[in-house]
Structure 1
């Protein structure tokens, strides 16, 4: 039975950090109330006193802002009150990190799909507990979507071009074409990881919003000889300093847990003195532990796309259908998305450039040009088909630019550094081209608009800051390199076996763990959010079983 969703007024434990005492004490302090932090906190509250420090605001203040219909606008919002913080990687790719209770689940395209069986096996997780943890999440945030015309056509087109077998609706990761889950309900309302706080014991949890952690505090552990975490310093929205300390509860092992994401977790470790000695000293940070692998292994699954204008109306949809190929690329789609007027104007201008360059005859008919001109109306009549490279194999790194935790660090992903990633992208784009030309999508295609025109369109859009090459119009390899986008599935920076051990404990440090996507060496499944939420629940149960007499609920 699906749980009733609790909203902000009933979250009595949800408070602004300005109301926090100067000093407080808890069994567990979780830094980051995001996709993993919320289920982790809800679980730990069943047996301990838990503090969650979230630097962003609450998604419940304006639910319509994060609805399906406002997806593009919400990820384009760069205001101070936005739920996202934009950054540009050194690769010249526009990106963003979540800044909200619920983390990336507040901003993403909503697709819910579990990790592949091999990922779970390689992680060494208890398969039964994984299954239970996924189900715990799904009772609250996952829904079976209702397919309409565009998503159905893409489903049929994928089958037509050989992405087989067809697996129907399933949360499981299976090669072929399938319909996955969604965190959007039938009315287009988004259900985020913050909803999982409905499982929490309200007497044992406190969540502070707009609480920006400045650093983790360490003391010497006389037994181990290494540093031991014992508290944190955080600022509220007014700039006031607060301190939260771990309780001393005898046999119970109080801990600080970083769940600040692939960007935030390695950044906070470094700001606290855990990282490469030379780099930390260059920023005047006192070194608590030399850990050269913090910030290393950063990866972002490259995404490339084609926009397909349609002569007939299409529904508003985000990812529901996915093609899981056997060569390492995932095909996904969305349609009818509302976009901001400036972006609509940019797209219209790009269409005009593509259709009539340097005085050459227009590539499109009058009917097509008239349709493209309607893009000034900020709803795109058509769909976007994307491919995501599995893994990826290419790796980069993260470094501090300043010692202000509000500032973005420098992030390098090294897209397509490994030739195998580029090969997968090319195969994925070939599949998209075949899909666009399929019989199933024919009613959504202008006959006078060849695929080459769609390729030219993307090359003229200001989608990233990378240089564009003339050869990209004719070489899929160059097209992948020049038009690469993020799919927001970045990970790494605190990887298992390099920064944390198999229990997600920071190696060489007592009372400190990292539990989020920064520990992954690859992105699980087609989309990671289901597994990141599952991990929060999974590790919450593991920690409780270690330290408390606790039965699963």
Structure 2
């Protein structure tokens, strides 16, 4: 009997004889190196300090631990504390959970679009829709990555967390509709990013249980790694000697009890040991600024002292791929599925879909209340929305007999920026994405909607829509819902350009803020500073592939191996 089956049998026996469901909570037992930050000493020393136990951070830390000591800070808790919350049927409820210390932290951009930040070990892989697809060849080439090593890094990730989907009725019909709409050829099942329609990997196993970047820590050397949970990093520490470049040597972090601790690099005069930011596209540029690395005038205005490096590009180049859903009520029962099939169009929109998702009405109400509270707290310049939110419980009753088709605009070309709102690292900074500022993004959106309409009205999809319903008519359903806080300028879906602007949502693929060539070099080292790198989606110039999680995990593994080679 192998270890996995032995552990499962033991769990079942415990549950039967002691009436205690420990089968999934016992997953955390594999990670003896995972500790609450309240147990941290006042001062500790490690070869590498990784800030952020998310999509990139887990892969990076697990790799580095093979030949060095590694400390990981995660501001949230563990996904193993509540394993059923990550199951496929709880996807929407977990993503929209706004209770204190939830895994998903609500933030609203200055554009009036609500979004989420992960605060849990495993990062966005714990709360996302689970689709796994590799980056396009052009992305890898532009990033200057070695193709063979990229392939090996992807495969390393895939062995732990990726599964081939069990394709059923709705997803098959969606695939057929895409092909009929001209998104060809049919590429079958593949992880590769190629034009046409395909099925790709998912991080849900056949039983609907989610596997996340946290599972990559199974690769770690447990003797060389410590992961502190509920650890909020407040500042990166630097040494400055005369005219030498600043050098990172440690961090200050706070535990859940409010106690401050310090972690330092083990040998500060070593050129190998480093602090590595993997906190994501919001927190990485934010923490650089709070540590004195960013636009000097902006930092001084917020009382950040001293300014270590005047780095005007920190926080610039922020982008978020626009997303638009179309809900299609179905006369036939549909399976519960998240993204399995995708249409990669020639014009630059990606078409994805899911089916059978249900939404808790009480959670809907609490989410809308949280939006209102955040608007008041941050004083966002939004339209009055109180009346818009009245009686929405009835409108937002999503039944399980429905499909949803979404489009994501590739790139995007539109860019924004991030600024400090205050000096609290756990609070949301001010973020502006400037959706559809570039007209090319808007053209892609219009073409994407035209494609979705063709899918809905195709023969292949016809079983899952009511006779007589039209694609354009279904677009009007969104106009009754508070998909964002932006003013509405239209009352129908016939002006697709205005419709795109008014109803824009996020697909949670925001990136930028510490971009390669502007804030970090091609080895992800922060320009002008020693012993400090940024390795996460904040370095991207565009979102890779249809969905970025595969590439972010790959990058953590890829760079971990490269750093270790430099160490020898």
TM-score by length of 2: 0.89
The separation in 2 between residues aligned to 1:194 and 1:465, in whole angstroms, is 34
Give the aligned partner of residue 231 of structure 1. Answer: 250
Q: CA deviation at 1:453?
A: 2.9
The separation in 2 between residues aligned to 1:301 and 1:65, in whole angstroms, is 26
Contact kept? 1:231, 1:246, Cα under 8 Å = yes
Gaps of 5+ in 1: 347-372, 549-553
What whole-Å deviation, never above 9, does each CA across 1:490-514 have from its counterpart, x for those lacking one? 0000000000000000000010000
Change (3 A) 1:219 1:77: same
Q: CA deviation at 1:249?
A: 7.0
The separation in 1 between residues aligned to 2:504 and 2:258, in whole angstroms, is 38
Q: Is the counterpart of residue 321 in structure 1 residue 341 in structure 2?
A: yes
Contact kept? 1:116, 1:173, Cα under 8 Å = yes
Give the aligned partner of residue 259 of structure 1. Answer: 278
The separation in 1 between residues aligned to 2:163 and 2:475, in whole angstroms, is 34
Give the aligned partner of residue 451 of structure 1. Answer: 471
The separation in 2 between residues aligned to 1:472 and 1:140, in whole angstroms, is 46
What whole-Å deviation, never above 9, does each CA across 1:358-377 have from its counterpart, x for those lacking one? xxxxxxxxxxxxxxx99887
Q: 1:422 aligns with which of 442, 451, 461?
A: 442
The separation in 1 between residues aligned to 2:320 and 2:201, in whole angstroms, is 23
Q: CA deviation at 1:463?
A: 1.1
Question: SS of 1:473's equivalent?
Answer: coil
Q: 2:263 aligns with which of 229, 239, 244?
A: 244
Q: 2:224 aligns with which of 200, 204, 211?
A: 204
Q: CA deviation at 1:308?
A: 0.3
Give the aligned partner of residue 396 of structure 1. Answer: 416
Contact kept? 2:233, 2:251, Cα under 8 Å = yes
What whole-Å deviation, never above 9, does each CA across 1:409-448 have from its counterpart, x for those lacking one? 0000000000000000000000001100011111111114
Contact kept? 2:273, 2:531, Cα under 8 Å = yes
Give the aligned partner of residue 323 of structure 2. Answer: 303
Q: Is the counterpart of residue 440 in structure 1 residue 460 in structure 2?
A: yes
The separation in 2 between residues aligned to 1:106 and 1:453, in whole angstroms, is 34
Q: 1:59 aligns with which of 70, 75, 79?
A: 79
Write the mapping of 1:296-375 to structure 2, written as runs, cut at 5 A.
Answer: 296-342=316-362
Q: CA deviation at 1:378?
A: 5.7
The separation in 2 between residues aligned to 1:118 and 1:283, in whole angstroms, is 40
Contact kept? 2:54, 2:124, Cα under 8 Å = yes
Change (3 A) 1:475 1:507: same
Contact kept? 1:312, 1:381, Cα under 8 Å = yes
Change (3 A) 1:238 1:502: same
Contact kept? 2:136, 2:193, Cα under 8 Å = yes
Give the aligned partner of residue 114 of structure 2. Answer: 94
The separation in 2 between residues aligned to 1:211 and 1:62, in whole angstroms, is 19
Contact kept? 1:309, 1:382, Cα under 8 Å = yes
The separation in 2 between residues aligned to 1:27 and 1:169, in whole angstroms, is 41
Contact kept? 1:105, 1:193, Cα under 8 Å = yes
Question: SS of 2:262's equivalent?
Answer: strand
Change (3 A) 1:137 1:312: same
Give the aligned partner of residue 522 of structure 1. Answer: 542
Question: SS of 1:292's equivalent?
Answer: coil
Contact kept? 1:44, 1:540, Cα under 8 Å = yes
What whole-Å deviation, never above 9, does each CA across 1:317-346 have from its counterpart, x for those lacking one? 000000000000000001100211247799
The separation in 1 between residues aligned to 2:161 and 2:254, in whole angstroms, is 31
The separation in 2 between residues aligned to 1:275 and 1:35, in whole angstroms, is 24
Q: CA deviation at 1:221?
A: 4.4
The separation in 2 between residues aligned to 1:499 and 1:182, in whole angstroms, is 32
Equivalences, count: 520
What whole-Å deviation, never above 9, does each CA across 1:263-298 have from its counterpart, x for those lacking one? 010000000000000000001101010000000000
The separation in 1 between residues aligned to 2:528 and 2:396, in whole angstroms, is 57
Q: Is the counterpart of residue 463 in structure 1 residue 464 in structure 2?
A: no
Change (3 A) 1:336 1:255: same
Q: Is the counterpart of residue 68 in structure 1 residue 101 in structure 2?
A: no
What whole-Å deviation, never above 9, does each CA across 1:119-142 have from its counterpart, x for those lacking one? 101110011110110000000001
Question: SS of 1:253's equivalent?
Answer: coil
Change (3 A) 1:47 1:299: same
Give the aligned partner of residue 39 of structure 1. Answer: 59
Change (3 A) 1:335 1:374: farther
Q: Is the counterpart of residue 538 in structure 1 residue 558 in structure 2?
A: yes
Q: CA deviation at 1:81?
A: 2.8
Change (3 A) 1:523 1:102: same
The separation in 2 between residues aligned to 1:426 and 1:410, in whole angstroms, is 29
Write the mapping of 1:169-188 to structure 2, written as runs, cut at 5 A.
Answer: 169-188=189-208
Give the aligned partner of residue 195 of structure 1. Answer: 215
Q: CA deviation at 1:28?
A: 0.2
Question: SS of 2:55's equivalent?
Answer: coil
Question: SS of 1:77's equivalent?
Answer: coil
What whole-Å deviation, never above 9, does each CA across 1:82-106 have from its counterpart, x for those lacking one? 1011000000001011100000000
Gaps of 5+ in 2: 8-25, 367-392
Give the aligned partner of residue 30 of structure 2. Answer: 10
Give the aligned partner of residue 167 of structure 1. Answer: 187
Give the aligned partner of residue 102 of structure 2. Answer: 82
How big is the alpha-carbon RMSD for the aligned residues of Structure 1 and Structure 2?
A: 1.9
The separation in 1 between residues aligned to 2:473 and 2:558, in whole angstroms, is 48
The separation in 2 between residues aligned to 1:378 and 1:481, in whole angstroms, is 24
